[in-house]
C-alpha cells in the first residue's frame, strides 16, 4: 500500500465534499453567505460576473450541433464557483474561492468529458463582467467584442477539442419569477437567468479530425447560497429548443420524503418568460438505461398543460455520463411528439445500484 | 516416540550441568542474529526512505520546469502556463531553521498536482477528506512525519501539524500559499511540476513565457540509491563480520558440547538408538535452541537498530543529504528473516558435529586423537588457505574494478588474515618456547601452543575486530585530518554572508566597500547543470590573491589561476575528474561553453561534481546563475566588530557567519558522518570480547588436567592463575600486534580502492601509531576482562576439585 | 621421617559430614617403604592427599621431618611439595604440552636441583633414553608411568607418595615399573608410601598397613 499516493488522492478529493455539497447538501448554515431574496433586481453586465458573497455559482453552456455530414452532437462547457467560507476577503492563495470546470462532447456513439480544478485569487480561473470573460486554465468563454455577444467558447480534453462562436441579439431571459427561482416549498431558491437564443458556428475536433459545425446553444447562469432543501436528493433538468422557436426550461427536484418539486419557464420566441405552475408540468420517465452502475431514465414524456406540449425527449447517447469527482448525467436530447426540437438533459443523484 | 523423548532429555541434561556452554551457544547465536538483523533493519529503513524521497514531490518523481540554478520565479508564470494549456503545478521549496534543526518546506498546490504524482500506485481504504480541512485555508495545516510532529511540539511560529508517516523526516509539507508566507517569498515559486503523460500543449513553452525555463526529466534511478550504495555495502560488511564472529562462538560451543557428550552419545547408541535417530534428536535440540536464540536475537537486533538509527540518519544526512527518519518501522518479514538466519547459522555451525554423530561408531576408539599431530595438520591446511585468500585479495584490489570487487578484496583480506593467525601465533609461541629458560617458562610457551586450538577461533574474532577497527579508524582519522586541513585552506575569508535578495546584496556590497576593516569582497555565483548525466554545480569565484595562495589543489597547470581569470580555463573537483576521467590540460564542454581544465581540487563530502571558474565568465555563460555566498576578508582582529556591525545594519540572520563557526559546523557534519562507523566498531570489539570470554570460560573447565600436575608439583593456585592470565594477555597482545599490519592493509584498501570507487576522491594515507597503541591496550584489556572470571575461579578453586583430577575414573 | 598423630578428615555430603579419617596414627621411618591397603572408602587416598598437602586436615598433625604440614598455608604446602615430596598417580601425571625430557626435568628444575647427569642415569635406568623427544600422548601407559617415576626421582625427594601407580597397567608392565621404582627407592634412600589394592604389590614393600574405617587396622 503506497500511502503517499493515498495522501495525494486525499488532497485532490479534499475540496470535493465542499463542492459536491454545493449541489447536494446546502440545506444549512447559509446564513453567513449572501442571501437570495425575491424582488432583487438583476442587472447586466454586472451580473454576468461572479458573486463571491454567494456560496455557489455557475456559468453553464450547452450546445446542440450538427456537422457538415448532418450528424448530431452536443457540447457542454461549465464553470462552477464555490466559496469555502462566507465573507471571503482572502487574496492570492488565501482566497477561499474554488473553481471547477467541466466540459463534454457527445455524439450518438461516444461521450468525452474533462475536468479542471483551480483556486481563486491568483488568476488561474475567474470571471469578469465587462468585458465578459470566464476561464479556467485555457478553457474560456469570453466576449469577442465590447458587448456581451458574440462570444468565443473553447475547451479541450484528452481526445477532443472545440472552438465555437456564439451569437445572439436577444437579451438575457429571467427564469423563475424575475430571476428568483424557487427550489422547494420551504424557501430554498437561487438567482437564475438564461440566454437560450444563441446560434453557434465553429469547429470541433474529435479523434484528431476537425469538423465544421453549426447549431444552437443555451447558457444558464445561476447563483445561490442555499439552493436545495435537506431532503432533496437530486434533480432532472431540461432545456429545450422547440421547432416553434419557443424555449422551455423544466426541472424537478426529487425528495426522499416528499413528491418531487416541479418548476419551469416557458420562453416565447420573443424572449418573454413565464413561470409555469407546478401542476401544469408533467415529467415522466419512460425508459431507463444502465449507466455507470446506476439506472438512469434516458427517455421521458414531457408535457405542459395549456401550452399544447406533449413530447418524448430521448437521449442522443444514453451513456452521456460525466465521470467527474461529482458524477452526473449530462447530454443532448432530441424531442418528438406534438412538437419537434432538441435540447439538453442533466440528471443528478441517482444512486449506484451495483 | 518415547525413545526420542528419552534421548532428547538425556541430551538436554548436559546443558543443565554445563550452563556456561548453553550461555555461549545461545549468546553467540543471539549476538550474531542481533547484529546481522540490526544492520539489515538499518539498511531496509534507509532504503525505504530513499524510495519515499524519490516519490515525494520534492524529489524527482515527475519532470518539472525550473530556472537554471533553481532560482525562484513569479507565480504569474504558473498562471500564464496554465492559461496556455500547460498542465503545470507550482512548488515552492526552501528551508527554515527551528532552533538547531533545519526543516525543508515544501509548498504544493493540491488542485493542480499532476496525476503522475498520485497515480503510480494503488490506493485503498476510504478517503478521508476531513483530514485536509484547513490545509488550503486557515489555520494552514501542514503535514510532517510523526517523529517531526513530536519533535516540533510546542515550537512557535508553526502551523498546526498533522502526522503523515510517509513524509521525509525533515520535511514540512504545506499549501504553497502557506509556504510562501513561511519562507518569506510572497508570490514566488521554485518549480513547476509536469505531468509525464501529458501530450505536448499547442503553445510552445517559449511562447507561453519569457523565462528560460528548463525541462528537467525524471530521474527514476534514484540518485540517492546509487550514492548510498557504498554506505550500505559498508554496513552490510560490518553486519556480516559480526555475524561470522557470532558464528565462531556458536561453532566452538557446539563442538565443545559434542566432544563432551561423546560418551553419552555412545551410550545412547549402545542402548539401541540408531545413528539417524540420534542425529535427528540432536537436530531437534539445535532447532529448539536456535529458535529461542533467534527470537531473542531479533529483539536484540531491533534494539541495536533503534539505538543506531539516529546515527545512521545523521551519517546519511551528512554524506548525501538523504533524509531518513530516526525511528524504525519494521515488517514481519524482517523478523522472520532474522529468526531464519539464526537457525541457518546454527545449522551451519553444527553441520560438522552432526555429520560426525551420524558416522560415529558405537564403540569408542581406543585412543584419543593425538592433538599435536592434528594441530599441525590443520595449521598447515589453514595456512595454505590463508595464503590463497591473501593472493586473491591482492589481485582483487590491484586489478579488479568496481566497488563490489573492492569489498570482496577486503573480505578476502580479512578472512585470509584470520586464517593465518593460528599458524602465525604457533610460530611465535614455538619461538618463545625455544628462547625460554626455566621450567615454568617452558611450560608456559608449550602450554600456550596446546591451548591455541581451543582459543584460535576467539582470537581470530579478536583479530578481525581489531583489524577492522584499525583500518576504519585509520581511514576516518586520515579523512578527518585531511578534511580539517582542507577546511582551513578553503575557508580563508573571515566572514561569510548570503544576502536575502539582490537589492540587499547590492546594499551590503556598497556598505562593505566603504569599510576600512574589510579588505576584500569575494562574491560567488552558482549554477547547476549536468555533464554526462552527472549533476554538476558550477561556481563562479572572484579572482583574488586569497584563492591563489591558499586553494588546495590535487593537480594544477602552470599559470592556472591566470588562465582561469581570463575565462579560458576552469578548475574541476576531484569527484568530477574521477567520474569523467578528466585530467589537467584536457578540454571540456559545459553547456556549450568550451574550456580547459587548469586544475583539479579536492571537494570532500560533496556527492555532486563541481566546476569553478572566474565569476564574470560564469555570469556570461550562465545568465541565470544564482547569487551564492560572499566572503569578506577582514583586517586582523576586526572580525567580531564587522560581524556586529553587519548584524546591526542588515537583516541576515543565519546567513551571516564567521569562519570559526562555519568550520565548526562543517566538522560537526563530518563527525555525524562517521558516527555509525564508530558505533559498529565498538560493537564488533564487544562481540570479539564476548567470544574470547566464552572460549576462556569453556576452556577453563577442560584445562584442569593440564594444570593439576603443576599444582601437584608445587605451583600454588595463585601462581597458576597468574600464569593463565599472563598467557591470555600474551595471546591477545600477539594478536593485537598482528592486527596492526592487517589494519593498515584494510585502511589502504578503504582509502585507495573503496573510497575512490564509492566517493570519487582519494585521501592521503596517514598513520596513527597512537591509535594502534590505544587499540593494542584495549585488546589486552578486553582479554584481561574476559579472562578475569575463569582465572579468578581457578585461583579460588577448592583443592578437592584439583585432586579429583587424579582420582576420577575417566 | 613421617609422623602422623590423631589425623581426622571429614567430607561434607548431603547427608551430613562423612568422617573418612578418625584419629589415625602412623609412623614411617626414613628410607622405609610402606603400603597402604584398604577397601574403597577406607580413607587411604585421603591420607595420601593430606600428606602431600593437596588437601587440609580437620584435626591432628602430620610431620614430614620437622615440618608440621597441617600448620602450613597453601603456599607453604606447595613449597613443601616442590622441595621434598614426589607424587606418582594412577593417571594424569604428565604435562601433556611438554616432551618426555622436559617432563623428566620439570619438577627438579622447579625445585632448583636439576642434575642432568642424574636425569640421564634415570632415563637410562627407566629405559626412556630413546623417548626423550616424544610427547606423553605418544607413549604407552607403562612408558608414561615410567616418565612419572623418573620425574619424581629426578628431584631427589625425601618422601615419595604413590597412589595406585600401576593401576592402569597390565600386570607385566606394572611389575616392571614397580621393580624399577623400588630399586630407585633403595638406591636413593627416600621414604616411599604407596596406596594399592594389590596384596602382591604390597608384599614387595618393607611394611604393610591396612586402613579400616579411617583407622589403622
Q: Are residues B744 and B716 in the same domain?
A: yes
Of B171, B191, B218, the position where a domain reaches its end is: B218
Is the CB of C163 less than 8 angstroms away from the CB of B802?
no
Name the minimum distance, in Å, from the CA of C156 to any CA of chain B. Answer: 13
Give phi and psi for B436, each to the nearest 5. -75, 140
Residue B515 in this model has a pLDDT that exceeds 50: yes
Q: Are residues B517 and B641 in the same domain?
A: yes
Greater pLDDT, C85 or B534: C85
Nearest to B628 by CA among B591, B655, B666: B655
Q: Are residues B314 and B195 in the same domain?
A: no
- Across the interface, of A5, A14, A92, the residue whose CB is closest to B123 is A5
Q: Are residues B32 and B97 in the same domain?
A: no
Of B664, B692, B707, the position where a domain reaches its end is: B664
CA distance A252 to A238: 9
Interface subset of A 13-32, CB within 8 angstroms of B: 13-17
Local confidence band at B57 (pLDDT 50, 70, 90 cut-offs): very low
CA distance C99 to B326: 61
Q: What angle do CA C64, C65, C69 make, to 5 degrees?
A: 30
Give the mean pLDDT of chain B.
79
Local confidence band at B495 (pLDDT 50, 70, 90 cut-offs): confident
Q: Are residues B312 and B251 in the same domain?
A: yes
Which residues in C lie closer than 8 A to residue B707 (C-beta atoms)? none
Residue B325 in this model has a pLDDT that exceeds 70: no
Sign of CA dihedral B251, B252, B254, B255: positive
- ipTM summary value: 0.90
Name the minimum distance, in Å, from the CA of B150 to any CA of chain A. Answer: 20
DSSP 8-class letter at B754: I
Q: Are residues B380 and B454 in the same domain?
A: yes
Q: Are C52 and B708 in contact (CB under 8 A)?
A: no
Residue A8 in this model has a pLDDT that exceeds 60: no
- Across the interface, of C52, C94, C111, the residue whose CB is closest to B709 is C94
- A5 inside domain: no
Q: Where are the domains of chain C?
A: 2-216
Give the domain extent around A82.
51-347
Name the minimum distance, in Å, from the CA of B121 to any CA of chain A. Answer: 6
Which of B733-758 are b and which e, b meaning 16 or more Cβ less than 10 Å from the residue's Cβ? Answer: ebbbebbbebbbbbbbbbbbbbbbbb
DSSP 8-class letter at A92: G
pLDDT at B454: 75
- Across the interface, of B450, B714, B718, the residue whose CB is closest to C96 is B450
pLDDT at B329: 67
Q: Are B390 and B418 in contact (CB under 8 A)?
A: no
Local confidence band at B55 (pLDDT 50, 70, 90 cut-offs): low
On whether any CB of chain B is under 8 Å from the CB of A91, the answer is: no
pLDDT at A218: 97
Span B236-252, pLDDT tens digits = 766 777 777 777 777 77
- B780 inside domain: no
Span A235-282, pLDDT tens digits = 999 999 999 999 999 999 998 888 999 999 999 999 999 999 999 999
DSSP string, B327-340: S----HHHHHHHHH
Name the minimum distance, in Å, from the CA of C54 to any CA of chain B. Answer: 6
Local confidence band at A289 (pLDDT 50, 70, 90 cut-offs): very high
- B102 inside domain: yes
CA distance B598 to B584: 5
Local confidence band at B372 (pLDDT 50, 70, 90 cut-offs): low
Q: How far is CA B33 from the centre of its chain?
A: 19
- A173 inside domain: yes
Greater pLDDT, B247 or C44: C44
- B781 inside domain: no
- Across the interface, of B55, B129, B165, the residue whose CB is closest to A13 is B129
CA distance A222 to A59: 7
Cell numbers representing residue C125 in the block: 635406568
Cell numbers representing residue A197 in the block: 437564443
CA distance B367 to B373: 14
- B246 inside domain: yes
pLDDT at B810: 35
pLDDT at A233: 83
Residue B733 in this model has a pLDDT that exceeds 80: yes
CA distance A240 to B58: 51
Give me the number of domains chain B comprises. 4
Cell numbers representing residue A167 in the block: 451569437
Give me the number of domains chain A comprises. 1
Q: What residue of A is the nearest CA neighbor of B53?
A: A4
- Across the interface, of B446, B712, B810, the residue whose CB is closest to C81 is B712
Q: What residue of A is the nearest CA neighbor of B132?
A: A14
Say how many CA atoms lie within 13 Å of A262 toward its Cβ: 13
Residue A201 in this model has a pLDDT that exceeds 50: yes
Residue B507, Cβ density class (10 Å: 0-12 exposed, 13-18 middle, ≥19 buried): middle
pLDDT at B673: 59
Q: Are residues B805 and B718 in the same domain?
A: yes
B275-320 vs B659-673: helix crossing angle, rounded to 10: 170
Beta strand A321-322 with A328-337 is antiparallel
Which residues in B lie closer than 8 A to residue A142 (C-beta atoms)? none
CA distance A331 to A103: 11
Is the CB of B439 less than 8 angstroms away from the CB of C52?
no
pLDDT at B225: 55
- B484 inside domain: yes
Share of chain A above pLDDT 90, in %: 68
Q: Are residues B75 and B26 in the same domain?
A: no
DSSP 8-class letter at B738: H
Q: Are residues B173 and B266 in the same domain?
A: no
Q: Are C47 and C58 in contact (CB under 8 A)?
A: no
On whether any CB of chain B is under 8 Å from the CB of A89, the answer is: no
Cell numbers representing residue A10 in the block: 486525499
Give the N- to C-terminal CA distance of chain B in Å, as an integer.
32
Residue B635 in this model has a pLDDT that exceeds 70: yes
Mutate to test the interface with A, among B107, B127, B178 (most CBs of A within 10 A): B127
Q: Are residues B422 and B306 in the same domain?
A: no
Share of chain B above pLDDT 90, in %: 7
Q: Are residues B604 and B653 in the same domain?
A: yes
**pTM for this prediction:** 0.59
CA distance B777 to B685: 13
Cell numbers representing residue B723 in the block: 600464569
Q: What is the dotted CATH code of the domain comprising C2-216?
A: 3.40.50.300
Subunits with 3+ C-beta pairs closer than 8 A to B: A, C
Give the domain extent around B461.
374-491+665-759+791-810
Name the minimum distance, in Å, from the CA of B702 to any CA of chain C. Answer: 13
Cell numbers representing residue B467 in the block: 583489524
Q: What angle do CA B81, B60, B102 make, to 5 degrees?
A: 100
**Number of helices and strands in chain A (H, E):** 2, 23
Residue B696 in this model has a pLDDT that exceeds 80: no
Q: Are residues B679 and B803 in the same domain?
A: yes
Greater pLDDT, B325 or A316: A316
- A44 inside domain: no
Sequence-distant (≥ 6) Cβ neighbours of residue A14 within 8 angstroms: B110, B129, B132, B133, B135, B136
| CATH number for A238 | 2.40.370.10
Beta strand B630-634 with B626-627 is unpaired
Residue B99's CB is within 10 A of a number of other CB atoms, namely: 8
- Across the interface, of A8, A9, A93, the residue whose CB is closest to B176 is A93
DSSP 8-class letter at A351: P
Of B363, B393, B423, the position where a domain reaches its end is: B363
Amino acid at each position: 500500500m503506497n500511502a503517499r499516493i493515498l495522501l495525494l488522492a486525499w488532497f485532490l478529493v479534499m475540496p470535493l465534499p465542499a463542492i459536491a455539497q454545493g449541489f447536494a447538501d446546502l440545506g444549512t448554515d447559509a446564513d453567513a453567505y449572501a442571501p437570495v431574496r425575491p424582488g432583487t433586481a438583476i442587472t447586466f453586465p454586472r451580473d454576468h460576473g461572479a458573486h463571491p458573497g454567494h456560496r455557489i455559482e455557475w456559468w453553464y453552456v450547452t450546445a446542440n450541433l450538427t456537422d457538415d455530414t448532418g450528424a448530431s452532437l452536443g457540447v457542454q462547457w461549465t464553470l462552477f464557483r464555490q466559496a469555502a467560507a462566507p465573507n471571503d476577503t482572502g487574496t492570492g492563495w488565501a482566497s477561499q474561492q474554488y473553481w471547477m470546470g467541466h466540459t463534454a462532447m457527445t455524439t450518438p456513439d461516444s461521450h468525452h468529458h474533462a475536468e479542471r480544478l483551480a483556486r481563486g485569487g491568483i488568476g488561474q480561473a475567474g470571471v469578469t463582467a465587462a468585458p465578459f470573460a470566464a476561464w479556467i486554465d485555457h478553457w474560456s468563454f469570453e466576449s469577442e467584442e465590447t458587448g456581451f455577444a458574440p462570444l468565443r467558447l473553447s475547451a479541450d480534453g484528452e481526445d477532443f477539442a472545440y472552438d465555437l462562436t456564439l451569437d445572439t441579439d436577444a437579451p438575457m431571459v429571467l427564469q423563475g419569477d424575475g430571476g428568483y427561482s424557487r427550489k422547494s416549498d420551504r424557501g430554498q431558491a437561487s438567482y437564475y437567468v438564461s440566454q437560450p437564443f444563441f446560434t453557434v458556428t465553429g469547429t470541433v475536433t474529435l479523434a484528431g479530425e476537425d469538423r465544421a459545425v453549426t447549431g444552437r446553444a443555451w447558457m444558464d447562469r445561476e447563483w445561490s447560497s442555499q439552493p436545495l432543501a435537506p431532503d432533496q436528493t437530486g434533480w432532472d433538468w431540461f432545456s429545450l429548443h422547440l421547432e416553434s422557436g419557443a424555449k422551455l426550461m423544466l426541472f424537478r427536484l426529487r425528495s426522499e420524503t416528499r413528491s418531487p418539486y416541479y418548476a419551469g419557464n416557458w420562453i416565447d420566441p420573443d424572449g418573454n418568460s413565464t413561470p409555469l405552475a407546478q401542476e401544469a408540468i408533467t415529467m415522466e420517465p419512460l425508459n431507463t438505461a444502465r449507466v455507470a452502475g446506476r439506472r438512469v431514465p434516458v427517455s421521458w414524456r414531457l408535457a405542459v398543460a395549456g401550452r399544447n406540449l406533449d413530447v418524448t425527449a430521448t437521449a442522443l447517447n444514453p451513456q452521456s455520463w460525466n465521470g467527474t469527482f461529482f458524477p452526473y448525467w449530462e447530454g443532448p436530447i432530441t424531442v418528438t411528439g406534438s412538437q419537434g426540437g432538441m435540447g439538453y438533459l442533466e440528471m443528478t443523484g441517482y444512486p449506484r445500484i451495483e | 516416540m518415547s525413545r526420542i523423548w528419552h534421548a532428547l532429555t538425556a541430551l538436554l541434561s548436559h546443558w543443565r550441568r554445563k550452563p556456561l556452554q548453553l550461555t555461549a551457544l545461545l549468546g553467540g547465536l543471539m549476538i550474531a542474529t542481533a547484529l546481522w538483523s540490526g544492520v539489515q533493519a538499518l539498511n531496509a529503513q534507509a532504503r525505504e526512505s530513499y524510495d519515499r524521497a524519490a516519490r515525494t514531490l520534492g524529489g524527482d518523481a515527475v519532470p518539472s520546469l525550473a530556472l537554471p540554478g533553481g532560482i525562484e520565479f513569479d507565480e504569474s508564470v504558473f498562471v500564464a502556463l496554465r492559461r496556455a494549456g500547460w498542465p503545470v503545478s507550482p512548488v515552492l521549496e526552501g528551508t527554515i531553521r527551528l532552533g538547531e534543526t533545519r526543516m525543508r518546506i515544501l509548498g504544493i498546490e493540491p488542485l493542480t498536482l499532476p496525476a503522475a504524482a498520485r497515480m503510480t500506485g494503488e490506493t485503498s481504504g476510504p478517503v478521508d477528506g476531513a483530514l485536509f480541512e484547513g490545509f488550503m485555508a486557515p489555520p494552514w495545516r501542514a503535514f510532517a512525519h510523526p517523529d517531526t510532529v513530536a519533535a516540533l511540539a510546542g515550537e512557535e511560529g508553526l502551523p498546526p501539524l498533522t502526522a503523515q508517516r510517509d513524509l521525509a523526516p525533515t520535511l514540512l509539507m504545506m499549501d504553497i500559499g502557506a509556504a510562501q508566507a513561511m519562507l518569506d517569498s510572497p508570490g514566488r515559486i521554485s518549480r513547476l511540476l509536469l505531468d509525464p503523460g501529458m501530450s505536448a500543449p499547442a503553445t510552445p513553452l517559449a511562447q507561453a513565457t519569457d523565462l528560460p525555463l528548463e525541462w528537467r526529466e525524471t530521474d527514476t534511478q534514484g540518485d540517492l540509491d546509487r550514492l548510498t550504495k557504498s554506505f550500505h555495502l559498508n554496513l552490510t560488511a560490518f553486519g556480516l563480520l559480526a555475524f561470522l564472529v557470532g558464528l565462531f562462538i556458536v561453532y566452538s560451543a557446539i563442538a565443545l558440547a559434542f566432544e563432551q557428550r561423546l560418551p553419552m552419545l555412545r551410550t545412547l547408541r549402545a542402548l539401541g538408538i540408531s545413528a539417524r535417530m540420534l542425529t535427528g534428536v540432536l537436530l531437534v535440540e539445535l532447532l529448539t535452541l536456535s529458535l529461542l536464540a533467534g527470537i531473542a536475537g531479533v529483539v536484540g537486533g531491533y534494539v541495536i537498530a533503534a539505538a543506531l538509527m539516529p546515527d545512521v540518519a545523521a551519517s546519511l544526512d551528512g554524506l548525501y543529504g538523504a533524509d531518513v527518519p530516526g525511528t524504525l518501522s519494521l515488517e514481519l518479514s524482517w523478523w522472520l528473516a532474522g529468526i531464519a538466519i539464526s537457525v541457518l547459522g546454527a545449522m551451519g555451525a553444527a553441520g560438522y558435529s552432526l555429520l560426525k554423530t551420524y558416522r560415529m561408531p558405537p564403540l569408542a576408539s581406543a585412543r584419543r586423537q593425538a592433538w599435536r599431530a592434528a594441530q599441525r595438520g590443520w595449521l598447515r591446511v589453514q595456512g595454505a588457505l590463508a595464503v590463497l585468500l591473501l593472493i586473491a585479495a591482492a589481485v582483487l584490489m590491484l586489478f579488479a574494478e568496481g566497488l563490489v570487487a573492492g569489498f570482496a578484496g577486503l573480505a578476502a583480506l580479512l578472512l585470509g588474515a584470520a586464517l593465518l593467525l593460528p599458524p602465525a601465533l604457533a610460530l611465535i609461541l614455538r619461538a618463545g618456547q625455544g628462547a625460554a629458560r626455566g621450567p615454568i617458562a617452558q611450560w608456559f610457551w608449550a602450554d600456550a601452543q596446546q591451548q591455541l586450538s581451543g582459543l584460535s577461533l576467539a582470537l581470530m574474532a579478536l583479530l578481525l575486530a581489531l583489524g577492522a577497527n584499525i583500518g576504519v579508524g585509520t581511514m576516518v582519522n586520515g579523512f578527518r585530518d585531511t578534511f580539517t586541513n582542507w577546511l582551513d585552506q578553503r575557508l580563508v575569508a573571515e566572514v561569510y554572508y548570503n544576502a536575502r535578495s539582490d537589492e540587499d546584496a547590492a546594499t551590503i556590497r556598497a556598505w562593505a566597500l566603504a569599510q576600512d576593516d574589510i579588505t576584500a569582497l569575494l562574491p560567488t555565483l552558482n549554477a547547476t547543470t549536468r555533464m554526462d548525466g552527472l549533476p554538476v554545480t558550477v561556481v563562479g569565484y572572484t579572482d583574488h590573491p586569497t584563492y591563489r595562495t591558499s586553494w588546495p589543489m590535487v593537480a594544477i597547470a602552470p599559470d592556472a589561476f591566470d588562465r582561469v581569470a581570463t575565462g579560458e580555463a576552469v578548475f574541476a573537483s576531484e569527484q568530477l575528474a574521477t567520474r569523467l576521467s578528466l585530467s589537467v590540460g584536457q578540454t571540456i564542454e559545459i553547456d556549450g561553453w568550451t574550456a580547459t581544465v587548469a586544475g583539479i581540487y579536492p571537494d570532500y563530502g560533496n556527492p555532486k561534481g563541481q566546476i569553478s571558474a572566474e565569476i564574470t565568465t560564469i555570469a556570461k555563460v550562465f545568465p541565470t546563475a544564482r547569487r551564492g555566498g560572499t566572503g569578506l576578508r577582514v583586517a586582523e582582529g576586526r572580525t567580531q566588530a564587522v560581524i556586529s556591525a553587519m548584524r546591526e545594519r542588515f537583516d541576515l540572520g543565519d546567513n551571516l557567519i564567521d569562519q570559526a563557526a562555519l568550520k565548526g559546523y562543517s566538522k560537526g557534519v563530518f563527525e555525524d558522518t562517521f558516527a555509525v562507523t564508530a558505533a559498529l566498531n565498538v560493537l564488533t570489539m564487544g562481540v570479539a570480547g564476548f567470544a574470547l570470554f566464552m572460549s576462556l570460560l569453556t576452556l577453563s573447565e577442560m584445562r584442569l588436567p593440564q594444570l593439576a600436575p603443576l599444582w601437584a608439583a608445587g605451583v600454588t593456585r595463585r601462581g597458576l592463575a597468574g600464569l593463565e592470565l599472563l598467557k591470555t594477555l600474551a595471546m591477545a597482545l600477539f594478536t593485537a600486534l598482528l592486527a596492526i599490519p592487517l589494519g593498515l592493509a584494510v585502511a589502504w584498501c578503504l582509502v585507495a580502492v573503496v573510497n575512490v570507487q564509492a566517493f570519487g576522491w582519494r585521501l592521503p594515507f596517514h598513520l596513527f601509531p597512537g591509535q594502534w597503541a590505544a587499540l593494542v591496550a584495549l585488546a589486552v584489556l578486553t582479554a584481561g576482562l574476559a579472562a578475569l572470571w575463569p582465572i579468578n575461579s581457578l585461583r579460588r578453586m577448592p583443592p578437592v576439585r584439583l585432586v579429583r583430577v587424579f582420582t576420577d575414573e575417566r | 621421617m613421617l609422623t602422623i598423630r590423631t589425623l581426622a578428615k571429614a567430607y561434607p555430603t548431603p547427608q551430613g559430614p562423612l568422617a573418612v579419617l578418625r584419629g589415625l596414627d602412623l609412623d614411617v621411618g626414613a628410607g622405609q617403604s610402606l603400603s597402604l591397603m584398604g577397601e574403597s572408602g577406607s580413607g587411604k587416598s585421603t591420607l595420601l592427599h593430606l600428606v602431600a598437602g593437596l588437601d587440609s586436615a580437620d584435626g591432628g598433625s602430620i610431620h614430614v621431618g620437622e615440618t608440621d604440614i597441617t600448620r602450613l598455608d597453601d603456599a607453604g604446602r606447595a613449597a613443601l611439595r616442590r622441595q621434598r615430596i614426589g607424587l606418582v598417580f594412577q593417571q594424569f601425571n604428565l604435562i601433556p604440552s611438554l616432551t618426555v625430557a622436559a617432563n623428566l626435568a620439570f619438577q627438579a628444575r622447579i625445585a632448583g636441583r636439576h642434575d642432568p647427569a642424574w636425569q640421564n642415569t634415570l632415563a637410562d635406568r627407566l629405559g626412556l633414553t630413546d623417548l626423550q623427544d616424544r610427547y606423553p600422548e605418544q607413549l604407552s601407559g607403562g612408558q608414561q608411568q615410567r616418565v612419572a617415576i623418573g620425574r619424581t626421582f629426578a628431584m631427589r625427594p625425601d618422601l615419595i607418595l604413590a597412589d595406585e601407580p600401576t593401576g592402569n597397567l597390565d600386570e607385566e608392565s606394572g611389575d616392571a615399573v614397580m621393580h624399577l621404582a623400588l630399586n630407585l627407592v633403595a638406591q636413593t634412600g627416600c621414604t616411599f608410601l604407596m596406596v594399592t589394592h594389590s596384596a602382591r604389590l604390597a608384599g614387595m614393600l618393607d611394611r604393610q598397613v591396612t586402613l579400616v574405617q579411617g583407622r589403622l587396622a
